[in-house]
């Protein structure tokens, strides 16, 4: 899978060279690329999700993307947001179809490169967010 030129500069800024983990990077990139009102200080809410929550489980890029969906689609709480759970479920299934897994420990052997880490996975999460956030526009 090739790197996505549309998202490459933002991913390089935060993920490849900026020292942010995959979850933090997805949120920061989405904030910048899609002009979202996400405070810089709130990025630390995603800190524990990098590297599959530090233990190789759910991909941090996926977790970050789901956090952005919540930020943009939920008014107050998820249970009161009609269609939010199915939207998240569809996103996870779509991510799995595109990346072939949702767990970091299984994704890394396929996508990790020492010079850019899992940049292509972060870019895929951003591409999907772009689609999911703007499909109703």
Domain range enclosing 87? 5-134
**Total domains present in the chain:** 1
Distance CA 102, CA 58 (A): 6
Model pLDDT for residues 54-66, shown as the tens digit of each residue: 999 999 999 999 9
Model pLDDT for residues 35-79, shown as the tens digit of each residue: 999 998 999 999 999 999 999 999 999 999 999 999 999 999 999
Rg (CA), the chain: 14
More confident residue, 56 or 137: 56
The model's confidence at residue 137, banded by pLDDT at 50, 70 and 90, is low
Mean pLDDT of the chain: 96
The model's confidence at residue 136, banded by pLDDT at 50, 70 and 90, is low
| 69 close to 77: Cβ distance less than 8 angstroms | no
Portion of the chain with pLDDT greater than 70, in percent: 99
Q: Which residues of 18-45 are buried (b: 16+ CB within 10 A; e: fewer)?
A: eebbbbbbbbbbbbebeeeebeeeebee
CA angle 13, 7, 60 (to 5 degrees): 75
In this predicted structure, the answer to whether residue 128 has a pLDDT above a threshold of 80 is yes
Task: Give residue 70's Cα distance to chain centre.
Answer: 12
């Amino acid at each position: 899978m090739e790197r996505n030129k549309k998202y490459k500069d933002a991913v390089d800024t935060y993920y490849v060279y900026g020292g942010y983990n995959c979850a933090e990077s997805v949120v920061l990139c989405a904030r910048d690329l899609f002009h979202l009102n996400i405070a810089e200080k709130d990025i630390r809410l995603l800190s524990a999700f990098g590297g599959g929550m530090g233990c190789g489980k759910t991909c941090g890029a996926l977790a970050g993307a789901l956090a952005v969906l919540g930020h943009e689609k939920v008014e107050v709480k998820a249970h009161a947001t009609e269609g939010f759970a199915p939207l998240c479920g569809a996103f996870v299934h779509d991510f799995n179809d595109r990346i072939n897994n949702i767990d970091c420990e299984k994704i890394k052997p396929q996508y990790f490169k020492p010079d850019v880490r899992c940049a292509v996975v972060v870019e895929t999460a951003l591409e999907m967010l772009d689609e999911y956030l703007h499909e109703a526009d």
